[in-house]
Structure 1
């Protein structure tokens, strides 16, 4: 898997567009719940780091 941050996707919550990111290595959500502000999700996925270096899958 190439070095990339978890992808951001748009999700609908009560008819409102929100943002979520899920790591493709471990399958866990980077955010605990969808965020209204896309920049917040971007900051969380960068804090998570690259998917290829994900350590969550080892636990």
Structure 2
């Protein structure tokens, strides 16, 4: 049995981060961090991530 109510990818919210920078900001920062950990796109030693507006909307449909 899954601990999730619905079978879809969850969005991580770190409470202490949300308190410090705001809920919306914490969601965006965490989601960007998630994608950066998976990204293999590196330019001049910096890891990059990009999504279209449509891609972000699919990940964060509550906005």
TM over 0.5: no
Structure with higher Rg: it is 2
Higher strand share: 1
Q: Answer 1 or 2: higher relative contact order, Cα 8 Å, separation at least 6.
A: 1
TM-score by length of 1: 0.28
Higher helix share: 2
